[in-house]
Amino acid sequence: MVELNYQSGFGNQFESEAESGVLPVGQNSPQKVKGGLYTEQLTGTAFTAPRSSMQRSWMYRIRPSVQHMTNLEPTDPGLIRTGPDIQGAPTATQLRWDPFPSISADATWLTGLATVATNGNSELQTGGAVHHFVASKSMVDTVFVNTDGELMLAPYFGRLLLRTEMGYLELAPGQIAVVPRGIKFSVDLVDEVARGYVCENYGANFRLPEHGLLGIDANALPRDFEYPVAKYDSENRPAKLVTKISGALFTNELSHSPFDVVAWHGNLAPYRYELRRFCAIGPVIFDHPDPSIWTLLSSPSDTPGTANLDFILFREHWRVAEHSFRPPWFHSNVMSELMALIEGVYDAKAEGFVPGGISIHNSFIPHGPDSDAFRSATDADLTPSKGPDSLAVMWESRYRWVPTSWAMALSELQRDYPTRWSELKSEWS
């Protein structure tokens, strides 16, 4: 990968300039900007939002972006779907898939994107979607911008280079990157093939969760989030812009690159995070806490304590609880869970749940460790142990996940998955 520099901190008021002296001093919109640049503001929240949640950035670019979205032409969305997905297939049982197939042998990140499930409503800014991608070539002169939601990219195979309006981000398995809505970006491959997951968040932008009694130093630290530094393209090479608006895709041919931001400042920008820097909190005496204690990022809803979307990370940690069942217990929640595996083995589902696969357990659908995992945990010698060394992620939502018709028709759907609990027999005497 190329050597890149980053700015550290979560949601900081950053500033960056690729050419010295471009950023205005003491104001945002001077009459004239150095070098004849155009001033432009991008806001991710309403102008009247509370200061604590307000997100915006000022950009100083070679050409104004009002030229980017003219003469938009509808284009085929492929397998990309947006909530509410009227062709989706609501489910009343547990679901799990083997690794998802590639759509095409010659796909970019964008054309290789297929939606697995949606929920909520993008126009009401509720819920989200989870997609899967398989890419075998870079996007080159194609640029994407999503106006429906911010995007969280989580590769599990192959490295990526994200070129954005505000700079570049390297991305490898074991890392995530978040691109706020309205920011243009392109995805290049570092390796021959890349695979991964994408969560599209229609609601409030992801933020660090409130920790209450845990305090500020638990789980993900703000200093471990990395933001790009300004980097621009001044070439007049043609580019194709693909825009997602209200679930539909549109294209526009540009005579130049839209990555022409020479300088910027603000707190709305793409960022990345190294998942293994997450310091998981565990029990010290008995039982184990609710999985919400491992929430890495959260998109709040209008109901306090009930998330639009939570991003939860299950990683290697010490297991020391005394006289306790250590894997997740059997449960059914008001929240709906979509899990994916990035690396390793998930201890509650040692078989059948592998990197590249997904499981869905919707609201009040009971689930938990499979038969083998239950027996193993019940009979285990409860000595302190660490592991397994894995990265499993969950996007949990107050809205039920609706699998797409494409996902439900795949041969990779494990139609016998609900039988994983059939060997659990009554031992009551």
Q: What residues are labeled active site?
A: 288
Report which of 287, 353, 350, 279 is spatially closest to residue 319, judged by C-alpha positions.
Answer: 287
Rounded Cα–Cα distance for residues 296 and 283 (Å): 18
Rounded Cα–Cα distance for residues 165 and 180 (Å): 11
**Eight-state DSSP code of residue 49:** S
CA atoms within 13 A on the CB side of 421: 10
Rounded Cα–Cα distance for residues 269 and 15 (Å): 11
Burial class (CB in 10 A: 0-12, 13-18, 19+), 253: exposed
CB 40 within 8 A of CB 59: yes
* Partner residues linked to 407 by β-bridges: none
CB 159 within 8 A of CB 127: no
**Angle at 379 (CA atoms; ends 378, 384), nearest 5 degrees:** 90
* Residue length of the chain: 429
CA distances to 171, 187, 230, 262 from 258, rounded to whole Å, are: 21, 14, 13, 11
Burial class (CB in 10 A: 0-12, 13-18, 19+), 88: buried
**Eight-state DSSP code of residue 52:** T
Cα 200 to chain centroid distance, Å, stands at 7
Rounded Cα–Cα distance for residues 260 and 80 (Å): 28
Rounded Cα–Cα distance for residues 231 and 233 (Å): 7
Strands 150-157 and 194-201: antiparallel
Rounded Cα–Cα distance for residues 293 and 158 (Å): 30
* Peptide bond between residue 84 and the one before it cis (omega within 30 degrees of 0): yes
Strands 239-245 and 142-146: parallel
Take residue 101 and report the two structure tokens written for it: 């197939």
Report which of 166, 165, 170, 167 is spatially closest to residue 188, judged by C-alpha positions.
Answer: 170
Rounded Cα–Cα distance for residues 253 and 142 (Å): 9
